[in-house]
Chains A and B, each alone.
Chain A
């Protein structure tokens, strides 16, 4: 098996990719995908930790957490996309930098 640090580096890289996606992209759908990438980084970290406790055994606690958390991330994405529909109806565009009515 690989060293655990490889999986941790993978999870942190995914986290940074998710943050990059949220900061630089302007299309609303891409921002939703960015949030999903962020959540999946934490899932990978959990699953990798579950396998590395003792060689030959896995920990069911981390797996149950990931199973439940996948459902929660799906709900957040659903509500975000519902608001994206209304944003398109009001503003005519999905560009987040054009939604600047409230200022100050």
Chain B
């Protein structure tokens, strides 16, 4: 059987990294919101989708507009890449 050395070494290192990560997480547990102050939250009994949408458009409108601009620019970029030769 032909071994692909990079694959074997990669699998070994990935498994080692996962084991180290699991040990680290169990030893030093994540200090969940240790330094946080209170914020506005949504109760799960209400309509999550609609309230999330209202939050998104009220507080994060700048990011949404720039993201739509990024979509336009990627479309322009793909048109530029697939243009016909002169």
| A residues adjacent to B (C-beta < 8 A) | 4-5, 8-9, 12-13, 16-17, 19-20, 23-24, 49, 52-54, 56-61, 63-64, 67-68, 71-72, 75, 78-79, 82-83, 86
Which residue of B is nearest A69, CB measured?
B67
C-alpha gap A16/B16 in the complex (Å): 10
What secondary structure prevails in chain B residues at the interface with A?
Answer: helix
B42, A60: Cβ atoms closer than 8 Å: yes
Contact between chains at A58 and B22 (CB < 8 Å): no
- Mostly helix, strand, loop or mixed at chain A's interface? helix
- CB neighbours (8 Å) of B18 from chain A are 12-13, 16
Interface string of B1-38 (1 = CB under 8 A from A): 00000110011011001100110011001101100100
